[in-house]
Amino acid sequence: MQKIRIQISNLSPGGIRLLSDAVLQLARKLEGEVLFELCDTSGKSILLPVCTVRIPVDDLICITADRHYVLFTCTGSVLRVRLRFRDAAALVPSGQFLACGRGVLLNMAHIREISKEEFVLSNGNIFPISRRKRRELLQVLLSYRSLHTAP
């Protein structure tokens, strides 16, 4: 984990908001998990900005569990959040995401290829198709595609 410490002095609430927006933009460009600390010049008080990330559903490719974290794979970035997988699954529309395995949700709009054994996503990621659930998964995907393709 990377740790970045930023010292500030005499910032107004608006200035703190601008700084936390800049920190959030920087965090999106860095790889891995990054902890940001904001503190005053004395180093005594630590301010942790509260940042909310909004992901358009069309940009979200898949959601996968990674131990105590959830990876939100988007077009252009991957966000790693400490969250229970079932809580993450409750955040997305159920009719658009396919549970192809334990701890894996795929955005059906981003499934580009289907072979006998795997799904290939728009970013090139490959996920196996469960042999036991293969027929059910393909039926759900075909139903989704029939509703969402132009005539």
Q: Are 8 and 18 in contact (CB under 8 A)?
A: no
- pLDDT band with cut points at 50, 70 and 90 for residue 55: confident
Helix (H) or strand (E) holding 148: helix 134-148
The per-residue b/e assignment along 83-108, b for 16 or more CB within 10 angstroms, e otherwise, is eebeebbeebeeebbbbbbebbbbbb
Report the distance separating Cα 86 and Cα 77, nearest Å.
Answer: 22
- pLDDT band with cut points at 50, 70 and 90 for residue 45: very low
Model confidence pLDDT, tens digit, residues 9-37: 665 666 666 766 676 677 666 655 555 55
Amino acid at residue number 140? V
